[in-house]
Structure 1
Amino acid sequence: MSLPLPGTADDRAVGVLLGAACGDALGVPYEFGPPLPADRVPEMVGGGLGPYAPGEYSDDTQMAVCVAESLRDHDDPLAPEALAATARAFLRWRAEGATDIGNQTARVLGGAEHAWRSDDVARVMTEGAAELYASGVRSAGNGSLMRTGPLALAYLDDPWGLAAAARRYSDLTHGDPLAGEACVLWCEGVRHAVVDGDLAGVRAGLNLLPEDRRDAWSGWLGEAEERPPHAFGDNGFVVRALQAAWSAITHEPDGFTGALRAAVRAGNDTDTVAAIAGALLGARWGAGEIPGEYVSAVHGWPGYRAEGLAGLALAVTRRHG
């Protein structure tokens, strides 16, 4: 298939998954490195922790694909069978395709492996994540935020339904409410960008949070709008990851490429910050604004290239439109 016409809602919907994958692959070579100088142009040269081939995306997009395939195959993302399918997909990915996996996610998936074939696998996974958080284990990593973008494509006309789904899908592996709140904000940003073609949705998403959580997140967004992406160096933490991505986007407001490169230049968890940024940038600017060299190179587990990712994104929107 060819990509949709630039400037259309379909173009922006495809941009969600394709933008995340391109950000992921662009950030892979620089993962856990220092911030890059302002004049350094990141390239899809591969390497990184994999090592990865040039243009190959990592766990960020691999897990987003698991979510998107479940959304493609089920009418109600919050139905038990849809959540179970997603949980099983995560476990299959861990066993067959994970080129990298975060510590928090690895612990939760390992604890749920025995329930692979059970109808209760999503419940077991969620309870395991909640127990880790309750035990004092740090559980606000960026591993649920990085994969959350495709959910927006199933709720383009339903921000409150999207907020509920964002929390529920985050809870599969991350018991800390901070992780779910970050997913709510970013998903609403993505949804709004696909529908309206602007970036107002992230701040509008504050109204989807519990009232007593809005001021904290408004302050964190304000910090990101004032400071450069590399100021949020501890970006394995979900709040800092979101801030780094939002900083890159708000400081480079005029297109896809400059902001995506700024996200990579932030340093540390570069593939994840750039995948998070790429989902929103793709939703805002559309797949047609992604550089052709990125589109032609991007690929990864379980065998997707750009056209396959585009088809998957459109299949989600068609199912839930």
Structure 2
Amino acid sequence: MNTLESNHDRDDRAAGVLLGAACGDALGVPYEFAARLSEEEVPAMVGGGLGPYAPGEYSDDTQMAVCIAESLRDHDDPRSGPALEQTARAFLTWRRDGATDIGAQTARVLGDTERALADDGAGETGAAEAMTRLSARMFGAGERSAGNGSLMRTAPLALAHLDDRHQLAETVRVYSLLTHGDPLAAQACVLWCEAIRQAVVDGSDEGPRSGLDLLESHDRDTWAGHLAEAEDSPPRAFAPNGFVVRALQAAWSAIAHTPVEAGDRNRYAAPVWAAVRAGDDTDTVAAIAGALVGARWGRSAVPEEYLAAVHGWPGYQADGLAKLAGEIVRRHGG
């Protein structure tokens, strides 16, 4: 393969991250917290769900991912104060103007942040600083803080660190902590984003095991066990899946139990259908799985009917999401 072909393939896989997540999200929307589909039923972008959504419309999973992606497009250093502040402010704007659905934990943190900023008459408190502090306070108080809401949105970060896995891991932790103070959430995001990064770079199918060494040594065996459970059990075994560990397990199980080859017509769709069939939080599990499957196989593997239909806040369609992915990669030297 020559350099031109190699670059084209990587660009295709980079676009597949955002498109794969958004299409998975839109496929899962109609079935969220509804009766689980049978193994014979094929998910479709028919809309409805908790929104209710239009056919092909993605939900909070992709809406929040777009907030992060636009900040990555606009800033050289994802962990800089301005980049984090733009992301946090975008989350708050989304909550007020665009949220068609929002998880309880995320809603609590964003609502508390709005009130903290309103109480700061001098305007000296940054949104990102307040958000992270309030998220940590929830965790410190023993409240549930390991939902799947950061895992569902952090895939774009992989595109900003294609050549540095250690920087990616550090960035992912910072962005997870904006709303999820439990280290488990950050660990899940590190594993999944590293799997995405590696898939974009070289088409790897190693998955989240590739990131185990990025975790603290005392966490690696625990997560290796979680991944082994996912590889041994079908996706439906991990419902309910609002807990971040079970959401990751459901998504990885769907991929691991749906082997596909490069020539398979449904190499993107089949694993994502399996994620939807896991049941419970279907849009989130399918968005998580879709980001990794899209990273592996690229935009070119996503069915044209999905690309024609997918859309959502604040006005993106397939071409816009692909362009956004490309802008992130170019800005960050990937």
TM-score of the alignment, normalized to the shorter chain, above 0.5 = yes
Pairwise CA distance, 1:42: 0.5
Q: Secondary structure at the match of 1:145?
A: coil
Aligned to 1:10: 11
Alignment of 1:140-155 (within 5 A): 140-155=146-161
Q: Which one-letter code corresponds to 1:83 in the other structure? A: L
TM-score, normalization by structure 1: 0.97
Residue identity (%): 66
Cα shift readout 1:83-136 (whole Å, capped 9, x = no counterpart): 011000000000110000000000000111143865621111001000001111
CA distance in structure 2 between the aligned counterparts of 1:263 and 1:5, rounded to whole angstroms? 30
Q: 2-side partners of 1:115 and 1:151: how far apart? A: 26
Report the CA distance between 1:35 and its aligned residue. 2.4
Q: 271, 285, 292: which one pairs with 2:283?
A: 271
Q: 1:168 aligns with which of 166, 170, 174?
A: 174
Q: Tell me, which stretches of 5 or more residues in structure 2 are unaligned?
A: 261-266
1:289 to 301, 304, 308: 301
**1:257 equivalent in structure 2:** 269
Q: Which runs of 4+ in 1 moved over 6 A?
A: 4-7
1:131-186 per-position Cα deviation (integer Å, ceiling 9, x unaligned): 00111110100000000100000000000000001110000000000000000000
Within 2, Cα distance between the matches of 1:310 and 1:44? 19
Q: Is the partner of 1:42 in helix, strand or coil?
A: coil
Q: Which of 239, 242, 246 pairs up with 1:240?
A: 246
The residue type equivalent to 1:115 in the other structure is L
Q: Please say if 1:159 is aligned against 2:157.
A: no
Which ranges in structure 1 are unaligned for 5 or more consecutive residues? none
1:57 matched to 2:58? The reply is yes
Aligned to 1:223: 229
Secondary structure (helix, strand or coil) at the match of 1:138 reads coil
Residue 299 of structure 1 is matched in structure 2 by 311
2:28 paired with 1:22: no
TM-score (norm 2): 0.93
- Deviation for aligned residue 1:34: 3.1
The equivalent of 1:189 in structure 2 is 195
Q: Kindly tell me: are residues 33 and 5 of structure 1, through their superposed partners in 2, closer, same or farther at Cα, counting changes over 3 Å?
A: farther
> Residue 264 of structure 2 corresponds to which residue in structure 1?
none
1:201 offset after TM fit, Å? Answer: 4.4
2-structure distance, mates of 1:162, 1:53: 34
What is the rounded CA distance, in whole Å, between the counterparts of 1:99 and 1:6 in structure 2? 37
Question: Which of 7-16 and 84-93 deviates more?
Answer: 7-16
Deviation at 1:198, TM superposition (A): 1.6
For 1:64-143, what aligned pairs fall within 5 Å after superposition? 64-113=65-114, 114-115=116-117, 118=124, 120-143=126-149
What is the identity, as a one-letter code, of the residue corresponding to 2:41? R
Please say if 1:309 is aligned against 2:321: yes
Aligned length: 318
